[in-house]
Amino acid sequence: MVGGVKLDGVLVYGLGRSGRGAARFLAREGVRGEWLDARPAAEDLALMQELGWAQGDVTRPYRTVVAAPGVPIDHPDLTALRAAGAEVIGEVSLAARRRPALPMVGVTGTAGKGSTTVLVAHLLRACGLNAREGGNIDPPLLDVVDSAEVAVVELSSFQLERVPGLRLPVAVITNLGVDHIDRHGTVGAYHAAKLNITAAQQAGDVLIVPADLTVPTRAQVVTFTPARLALADGTPVLDAAALPEGIHPANAAAAILAAEALLRHLGRPVDAAALAGALATAAPVKGRFETVARVGGVRFIEDSIATRTLAVQAALERAAPPVAWLVGGRDKGADLAPLRAAAAGRVAQVIAFGEDGETLARELGLPYRVVPGATGDESMRHAARAGLEALTEQGAAACGTVLLAPVGTSFDQFRDYRERGDSFRRAAQALAEERA
C-alpha cells in the first residue's frame, strides 16, 4: 500500500519514450504501478501524475520491473531489484506476455534494422494485413499492440538484454558489426545481446540472416543476399535495379523473406506480384539515406543516423561520387579503417563539424575542411554550404553528393540524430532555394 492505494507489484524503471509507453499500456490494463527515473522530464512527471502513479523505491519489493532500454541491464538499482526477487523485463516482453496471440516479427542488426522493420510492415500491409511497426523505432511497441493485426518490432541490443523467454515466429538479423562497446564492454557481449532475438525460437520458427552469417539457433534458417530479391524457393520478386531511391537491396531482400515467413506462419497466401508492387512504391525511412535537396547535379543526402561503421560504409558506397562527406559530432570510437577504404576514390573532401569533427577527419586521412558553428543549426548551415562549394569549385556542371553520414553521435549540439537530420535538411533546402 502507498498512500492508501493498492499497488500491483510493478515498477517502471526509466521513463522517456519507452517508459511512458509501458506506463500508458499498463494503466489501460488496469495496473496501478510505480515509477523511478533519475532525471524525469516534465512530460514524464505530467503523465505519472495523470495516471496517479507514485514514485517507487528500490528498497521495496516488486514482482516485475519494466526497465527502459536506456538503463544498463547491470545498473546497481536493477541488480538490487533482481536480488530482492523482481523479474526485470522490457517493453517487448511485456507486450508478448500481455498479447500472446499477436504475431510479431522481430528485426535486429548493427545497421539497417529500422529500414528493414518499416519495409516488412509495408509489405505485409500490401498483402492485406494490418501490420504496425514499433519498438526501437517510433512509436513504442506498446502503443500499437492493440491496433495491430501483426507487429513488426525493431529490436536494439539494449532491448534484447531484457527479453527473457521471448519467442518470435519470425526473426531477422540484418548483419552483425561493432557498436555500443561503451555499453556492452566487448564485441562478444554486444553480439550475444543481439543473438537473444533467436534464443527462445524453436524448430517451427524462422530466422532470416545474411548468407555469410552463421548463427546458433533451433529455428529454420533462411539466408538472403542483396543481389537476390526473391522468395525462399527462389521465385523472383523484383530486380534490385527497380528499387526506389533510398531502399537498400539487402534490406529489401531480408524484408521479402520476413514477410513471406510471417504469411506462411499465418496460413495466408504469398503473392509475389503484390510484394513486387509494394517494393516498387516503398519510401525510405526519414533520416536514412534520404535525398532532401538538389542543386543542379548535386544531391544532398541525409543519413544522420549513420554513426555505426557498417551504416556509414553503406552510405559511402551508395552515394554517387564525387562525395563531400559531412563528418562530426561526438566521437564514439567507431572503427574507421573500413571507412577509409570505402571513401577511397569517392570522397573529394571531408567537411568536419561539431565537437570531434576535426579529430575524426584527421584520423580518416582524407582532405578535409573544418567549419565553425556555435550551435547545431549554424554548424549544419556552414557544413552544407561547404559541401556544395567542394563540389562546385570545378565549374557550373558540378555533380555528386553532399552526404551527411556523420560517424559521431549528435549529442554535442543536438538532442538526437533526428534533430541533427532536420537541421541539415533545412540548410540544404535553403541552399537549393538560394541557387534556384
E-only strand ranges, 211-359 = 220-224, 290-295, 297-302, 323-328, 347-353
Q: Is 145 helix (H, G, I), strand (E, B) or coil?
A: coil
Give the Cα separation of 29 and 209 in Å (integer). 36
Residue 109: CB partners within 8 Å, gap ≥ 6?
Answer: 116, 172, 173, 174, 175, 176, 194
Is the backbone peptide bond immediately before 322 cis, with ω within 30 degrees of 0? yes
Q: Would the annotation count 110 as a binding residue?
A: yes
The whole-angstrom separation of Cα 343 and Cα 28 is 51
Q: Is 109 annotated as a binding residue?
A: yes
CA-nearest of 289, 315, 247, 323 to 424 is 289
DSSP state of 236: B
Which grid coordinates belong to 239?
Answer: 530486380
Q: Which residues pair with 104 in a beta bridge?
A: 151
Query: CA-to-CA distance for 62 and 46, rounded, in angstroms?
Result: 23
Tell me whether residue 111 is annotated as binding: yes
List binding-site positions: 109-115
- Feature table: binding site for ATP: 109-115
